[in-house]
Amino acid sequence: GAVVSQHPSWVICKSGTSVKIECRSLDFQATTMFWYRQFPKQSLMLMATSNEGSKATYEQGVEKDKFLINHASLTLSTLTVTSAHPEDSSFYICSATPSGMSSNEQFFGPGTRLTVL
Amino acid sequence: AQSVTQLGSHVSVSEGALVLLRCNYSSSVPPYLFWYVQYPNQGLQLLLKYTTGATLVKGINGFEAEFKKSETSFHLTKPSAHMSDAAEYFCAVSGLSGNQFYFGTGTSLTVIP
């Protein structure tokens, strides 16, 4: 149980285009989901906290107009990288906390590798 | 404020030798502590976690970690390294007051045959 999927697993796009990444909790409902990015050989950095039915909370330094987060249902959160540029190339990982469970329980998705040409 | 320090970005051990990956944390509240493993181009897999209770925590794949409050440490150990243990390991902390995870910078484990 407690499986989180991401789609796509990898994507290559041209500079200036937008890319949408999906994060789904497959066997549980998640009121809260999290988005992280990881640069090569570095740790995960929290980008934003996504709450179902409300606006996401962004970490300092993360442009909310560039990284659009939508959490329209209890099993799906999406991250859209708008007008992507090569510096946005990274590994994006989501995690989800099952509704009703301790907020310190997070289950991570397999990640999405974004390459912007 | 919470933070995590992992000493040693790279650790190499011989197959069959003891694995010791170090993690120290700072937290203004009683912490929850986690160790995750990441294989290339994959997400994070939970190895073990400490929330409350017994300070020696056993996880998957023969790993264990001990929460030492006096030393603010949560070092990860495994008695005998296996080739399949080669991966990136992350220590993370979260606090009772929130659900945000703070990750260390990671330790890359190499197992030498």
pLDDT tens-digit series, residues A12-59:
999 999 999 999 999 999 988 999 998 887 888 889 998 888 889 999
Q: How confident is the prediction for chain A on average, in pLDDT?
A: 91
Contact check, Cβ <8 Å, B44/A108: yes
Q: What pLDDT does A1 receive?
A: 66
Band of the pLDDT at B109, cuts 50, 70, 90? very high
pLDDT at B29 over 80: no
Nearest-by-Cβ selection for A104 from B51, B90, B103: B51
Q: Decide if B112 contacts B66 (C-beta within 8 A).
A: no
Q: How many CB atoms lie under 10 A from the CB of residue B18?
A: 11
Show residues of chain B in contact with A21, CB under 8 Å.
none
Please report, as a single letter, which amino acid is at residue B113: P
Q: What pLDDT does A102 receive?
A: 67
pLDDT at B98 over 70: no
Query: Per DSSP, which regions of chain B are E strands?
Result: 3-5, 10-14, 19-21, 24-26, 31-38, 44-50, 56-58, 64-68, 73-78, 87-95, 102-103, 107-112
Nearest CA in chain B to A110: B43
Is A7 near chain B, with CB under 8 Å? Answer: no
Instruction: Give A16→chain B minimum CA distance, Å.
Output: 25
Q: What is the pLDDT of residues A82-103, one digit of tens each?
A: 999 999 999 999 999 888 776 6
CA distance B78 to B56: 13
- Six-digit token string for B15: 């197959």
Contact check, Cβ <8 Å, A113/B41: yes
Q: What is the mean pLDDT of residues B60-69?
A: 94
Q: What pLDDT does A43 receive?
A: 85
Show residues of chain A in contact with B99, CB under 8 Å.
32, 49, 97, 103-104, 106
CA distance A76 to A113: 19
Show residues of chain B in contact with A58, CB under 8 Å.
none
Instruction: Give A104→chain B minimum CA distance, Å.
Output: 5
Q: What pLDDT does A109 receive?
A: 92
| B101 vs B38, higher pLDDT | B38
Is A2 near chain B, with CB under 8 Å? Answer: no
Q: What pLDDT does B27 receive?
A: 76
